[in-house]
Structure 1
Amino acid sequence: MHSPIPTLDIARFVSPSSPRDRAAFVAELGAAYREWGFAGIRNHGIAQATIDAAYAVFKEFFALPEAVKCKYHVPGGGGARGYTPFGVETAKGAQHFDLKEFWHIGREIPDDSGYRPVMPPNLWPAEVPGFREHGYGLYQALDALGARVLSALALHIGLPGDWFADKTDSGNSILRPIHYPPITAEDVPNVRAGAHEDINLITLLVGASASGLEVLSRQGQWVPLTADADTIVVNIGDMLQRLTNHVYPSTTHRVVNPRGEEARKPRYSVPFFLHPNPDFLIDVLPSTVTPANPSRYLEPITAQGYLEQRLREIKLK
């Protein structure tokens, strides 16, 4: 990774050469997140063919006529499933909408699940063969990888390695294929993704090998983050920041517009937003409260309540 933000080999955690190496990985990962809120993960175990197949169907969908794509837009749905057109999402506090369109794939759950009222069924575009197979296949692969990252983070702050397992097994997690169209006008006030923090526990980004992603350092400098093709970038979201009393910071980041001829090219990326179960109560973990870091939140809030609050702020609801 061409950045001061560390890239770590998660094989040292999943199949370590020794207990000492596994413990060292946990310490290094925790330190990276305490400093940056971001880290690169390599040897993640997701086959490149799985990623390539998903990207192929996503690109095929975004190339469809606008009228066809808009058949899969759900008015009033907050973008929870299906298609969100260009010019809708706006970063919190920003004046101008982001230069992107996207699709949301959520967790497949039974219709009689108690979570069905807040986790609607997925939509699948009939015009793109293989969209469901490859899109949901990548969803499941990233969900499993995210569980491993959360396990290491739990150990780093003194929790059991499986602490998150029953709190995310029905999580309202989202896979978001994004298309940033070519920018044809000069000096547009909009950017591809305005400065923001993510809402969820952690985000796993497949496709950070394209330039544009920048992370705000603690010193107030924007640091470009372009990963190697075999690296998945994983960052902390606001829910985990709140849960850990800011031990793990949710770092501001953005996607800037390229210059010159690069601006005339489309950009694609696929983040996976890992969420807790909707009824999970986000309350500050006692182990993260110290005299030097007193509790910053007096009242707990459910994951669903927090999500709805934030979706209103970014104009998806």
Structure 2
Amino acid sequence: MTTANAETTQPHSFSNTPYSPSVAPDVAGELAKEARMGDMGQETHAREVRCIDLSDFEHRKREIADELWSAAVDIGFFQVSHHGIALQDIRDAFARAEAFFALPADTKAQWPLSRNAGWEHKSQIRPSTRTPDQKESYQITRPRMQGLWPTDAELPGFQQASLAFERQCWEVAMRLLSCFAYKLGFDEGFFTRAHNPEVPSYQSTLRMLHYFAVDPALKDELGLWRAGAHTDFDCLTLLFQRPGQGGLQVLPGKEMEGRQWTPVEPAEGVITCNIGDMLTRWSDDVLPSNFHRVRNPLPHEYQGARYSLAFFAQANEDAVIEGPGRKYPPITGAEYLRQRISANFSNRY
């Protein structure tokens, strides 16, 4: 959930390969805003992150689309229930993530992150904080996983089960995006074609995240963040959280100047969703991609490890991003992502 990168901390490549394209004006502006988001600000409960019931989706689709649109325009975040992914499947996905992160570091290092696929450890440095996020992650991007899967000897059934869960997340994301396509005046299969998982240009990503338990010696260190303030690069982020492992906060645009952060409380079986930068551009800036972060727990809160699962519906590399009003020139998904990664991971901060 700029990054996922839905806490939704968005997946990125941390390759050292140089790339320095000219940064588009909307990208440069977003980067400048992010660089000002490193202070603590204040927490407020005055805003509502709405939970939208997706049951009987095909018969209620127009009603659901109106509810999603209203929540997205208002705050850029919403939650969904009755989405079709069984609670046990979500619990099993969390268990797989815990098993993966429990592997020795030298074992995980066999699968280093490259082009949004593989494992990284404290590699993400936000322009908002200029310090590494206190986490590790493992990212699954279907066409880029060669040599990056644990074997069945290391984690039995991990690959097959993870891909099955990724597919479930994709299906939910496409249902939600079909509602936004309808509201934007596109045909309802528009975003499904732009996120086609059957082709090599697919770049949507399932990200497993492990935020480290707080070191007692550092519990009063204000400069550390589990995930610094950012926006997500993708179209739509789906985030699974565990009850009792909070910290996610969103900063709606209307509260930006006052730094009024709204907490997004975890609820088992509910998916937290947010609009990403790609969809903001595709909507000619009607749908906001708002800043969010994961703060360290306060002294009276649970200090242990935090796990989350994020799915980033990120347009295929060859998809052309252009809004109905053509506010911005067309750009491919590949070029847009390169510009955002270059702006955020160029070690200029």
TM-score category by the smaller chain? 0.7 to 0.9
Q: Report if aligned partners of 1:182, 1:263 keep a CA contact under 8 Å in 2.
A: no
Confirm or deny: 8 A CA contact 1:38 1:235 kept in the other structure: yes
- How far off its partner does 1:47 sit? 0.9
Mapped partners of 2:118, 2:194: distance in 1: 25
Q: Which amino acid aligns with 2:146?
A: P
| Higher RCO structure, 1 or 2 (CA under 8 Å, sep 6+) | 2
Q: What pairs up with 1:76-95 in 2 under 5 angstroms? A: 77-78=114-115, 80-85=116-121, 87-95=122-130
Partner of 1:251: 290
Unaligned runs of 5+ in 2: 1-44
Q: Which of 164, 169, 173 is residue 146 of structure 1 equivalent to?
A: 173
The structure-2 alpha-carbon separation of the partners of 1:42 and 1:202, relative to structure 1 and needing over 3 Å to count, comes to: same
**Hey, what's the Cα distance between the residues in 1 that align with 2:279 and 2:213?**
34
Can you list the C-alpha shifts for 1:229-269, whole angstroms capped at 9, x where unaligned?
Answer: 12101111000001111111101100011022645300000
Q: CA deviation at 1:284?
A: 2.3
RMSD: 2.0
Q: What SS is found at the alignment partner of 2:297?
A: coil
Contact 1:54 1:131 in 2 (8 A): no
Q: Which residue of 1 aligns with 2:133?
A: 98
* Secondary structure at 2:269 match in 1: coil
**Contact in 1 for aligned 2:118/2:145 (Cα 8 Å):** no
Quote how far apart the aligned CAs of 1:120 are: 5.3
Q: How does 1:114-193 map to 2 (within 5 A)?
A: 119=144, 121=146, 123-126=148-151, 127-170=154-197, 171-184=202-215, 185-188=218-221, 189-193=223-227
**CA pair 120-65 structure 1, distance change in 2 beyond 3 A:** closer
Which residue of the partner structure matches residue 246 of structure 2? 211
Distance between the aligned counterparts of 1:202 and 1:187, measured in 2? 34
Residue aligning to 1:284: 323
Distance in 2 separating the partners of 1:226 and 1:264: 16
Residue 334 of structure 2 aligns to which amino acid in structure 1? Q
> Tell me, what secondary structure is at the counterpart of 1:129?
coil
CA distance in 1, matches of 2:272, 2:178: 17
Residues 13, 26 of structure 1: 8 Å contact kept: no
Query: 2:100: which partner in 1?
Result: 61
* Alpha-carbon distance in 2 for matches of 1:313, 1:106: 22
Counterpart of 1:200 in structure 2 is 234
Deviations 1:117-168 (A, max 9, x none): xx45362112111211221111000000000000111112222222222211
**Is the 2:242–2:307 contact (alpha carbons within 8 Å) kept by the matching residues of 1?**
no
1:25 paired residue number: 64
Name stretches of at least 5 consecutive residues in structure 1 with no aligned partner: 110-118, 290-294
> Sequence identity of aligned pairs in percent?
33
Measure, in 2, the Cα distance between the counterparts of 1:61 and 1:236.
Answer: 28
- The answer on 1:42 being equivalent to 2:81 is yes
* Shift in Å, 1:53: 1.4
Does the CA contact (< 8 Å) of 1:146 and 1:204 recur in 2? yes
Query: For structure 1, which segment, 40-49 or 305-314, has the greater mean C-alpha deviation from structure 2 after superposition?
Result: 305-314
Counterpart of 1:275? 314
Task: Tell which deviates more after alignment, 250-259 or 152-161.
Answer: 152-161
Match of 1:230 in 2: 269
CA–CA separation in structure 2 for the residues paired with 1:177 and 1:122: 18
How far residue 270 of structure 1 moved from its aligned partner, in angstroms, is 0.5
Contact map agreement 2:255 2:261 (CA 8 A) in 1: no
In the alignment, the residues of structure 2 paired with residue 190 and residue 316 of structure 1 have an alpha-carbon distance, to the nearest angstrom, of 21
Distance 1:255 1:45, change over 3 A: same
Task: Report the TM-score, using the length of structure 1 for normalisation.
Answer: 0.85
Distance in 2 (alpha carbons) for counterparts of 1:121 and 1:276 = 21
Which residue in the other structure is 2:21 paired with? Answer: none
Residue 110 of structure 2 aligns to a residue whose secondary structure is helix
CA distance in 1 between counterparts of 2:334 and 2:181 reads 22
For 1:122 and 1:162, the matched residues in 2 are separated by 33
